[in-house]
């Protein structure tokens, strides 16, 4: 509330500062160009009124209109110090004030619509944030229960892992949902700490791989440690692995983690249907659409880019299909 009040106060001060600056500028220019403006004494003050109303709305626009009319009549339509109204000057003043009032009303409607849209956006984002948090609470509990059951059960292990994968997929979507809102609000919070990327990939793979599925091969010739946000990297890796398990046709899934200069490179490769000539793709920019290749689409890959960027990895990081 205090921050909102201070913001409104700053906006009000800025509006009146614009009125003062516009009127002062119109006066100064009119004195400099007085011979050329004798036939159109209100021209520069129309500009001052438009600027004041555009940035300030109704009241600053009306004040600028009235003050401008007084200044023109006092300094440019009569000898200095005398305010005399003749019929031509009265008509010119009335036209000036009518235009100024009309434009002030229009600008007031514009600013009111902008404020209403901004308030609606804030309400929508707050609602979506609360809804996403509420959805994550039961999903977290369900995920923990499934993990515990998976350790105890035997025959049902494959079914439990399948259910766990769907929970993780839903949790990832909600996580991405929250990230998108926070990116728009420019308030992404990162929890950076030292992480071994190979060990993280192995951990995520062991958790997601179905029991009757192809084996997962994680190759990390040397530890690749960096300071990243573990939760966001885990979601990225999970998306890529889920995509590989889904389209791998029961064949092994290969994960390779290596250092590439001052960067870390993680590639996920399956042996299922996929493009032959363009195996290397670049993670698509946020908002781009996945393209279908030979009946296969990879939405998981295309959802990963926002998290890669905020987790500290370079944009356009290569991902092996």
What CATH number has the domain bearing residue 234?
3.30.565.10
pLDDT at 274: 57
Q: Tell me how far apart the alpha carbons of residues 234 and 232 are, in angstroms, rounded to a whole number.
A: 5
pLDDT at 104: 92
DSSP letter at 273 equals S
Residues of the chain with pLDDT under 50: 212, 275-321
Confidence (pTM) = 0.45
Q: Tell me how far apart the alpha carbons of residues 303 and 292 are, in angstroms, rounded to a whole number.
A: 15
pLDDT at 278: 45
Residues in a beta bridge with 216: 253
Q: Do residues 299 and 239 share a domain?
A: yes
Q: Tell me how far apart the alpha carbons of residues 88 and 182 are, in angstroms, rounded to a whole number.
A: 59
Q: Do residues 152 and 270 share a domain?
A: no
pLDDT at 21: 92
pLDDT at 128: 75
Task: For residue 262, give its domain range.
Answer: 192-320
Whether 180 is covered by a domain: the verdict is: yes
What ranges in the chain are assigned the alpha helix state H?
A: 2-32, 43-56, 58-75, 87-152, 157-184, 197-208, 230-247, 299-303, 305-310
Of 143, 158, 184, the residue at which a domain comes to its end is 184
Q: Do residues 244 and 303 share a domain?
A: yes
Whether 126 is covered by a domain: the verdict is: no
Residues 6+ apart with CB under 8 A from 47: 22, 26
Count up the domains in the chain and report the number: 3
Around Cβ 191, how many Cβ atoms within 10 Å?
Answer: 10
- Nearest-CA neighbor of 264 among 203, 221, 202, 304? 221
């Amino acid at each position: 509330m205090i921050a909102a009040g201070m913001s409104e106060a700053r906006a009000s001060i800025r509006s009146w500062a614009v009125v003062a600056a516009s009127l002062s500028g119109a006066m100064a220019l009119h004195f400099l160009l007085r011979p050329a403006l004798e036939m159109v004494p209100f021209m520069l003050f129309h500009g001052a009124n438009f600027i004041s109303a555009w940035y300030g709305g109704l009241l600053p626009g009306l004040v600028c209109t009235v003050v401008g009319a007084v200044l023109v009549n006092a300094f440019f339509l009569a000898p200095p110090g005398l305010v005399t109204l003749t019929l031509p000057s009265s008509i010119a003043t009335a036209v000036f004030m009518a235009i100024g009032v009309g434009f002030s009303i229009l600008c007031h409607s514009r600013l009111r619509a902008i404020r209403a849209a901004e308030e609606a956006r804030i309400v929508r984002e707050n609602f979506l944030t609360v809804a996403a948090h509420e959805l994550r609470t039961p999903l977290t509990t369900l995920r923990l229960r499934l993990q515990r059951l998976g350790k105890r059960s035997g025959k049902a292990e494959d079914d439990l892992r399948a259910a766990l994968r769907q929970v993780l997929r839903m949790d990832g979507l909600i996580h991405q949902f929250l990230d998108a809102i926070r990116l728009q609000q420019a308030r992404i919070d990162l929890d950076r700490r030292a992480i071994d990327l190979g060990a993280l990939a192995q951990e995520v793979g062991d958790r997601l791989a179905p029991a009757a599925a192809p084996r997962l091969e994680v190759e990390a010739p040397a530890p690749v440690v960096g300071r990243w946000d573990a939760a966001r990297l885990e979601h990225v890796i999970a998306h890529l692995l889920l995509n590989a398990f889904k389209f791998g046709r029961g064949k092994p899934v290969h994960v390779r983690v290596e250092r590439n200069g001052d960067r870390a490179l993680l590639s996920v490769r399956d042996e299922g249907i996929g493009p032959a000539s363009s195996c290397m793709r670049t993670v698509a920019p946020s908002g781009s659409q996945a393209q279908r290749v030979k009946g296969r689409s990879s939405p998981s890959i295309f959802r990963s880019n926002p998290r890669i960027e905020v987790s500290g990895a370079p944009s356009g990081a290569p991902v092996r299909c």
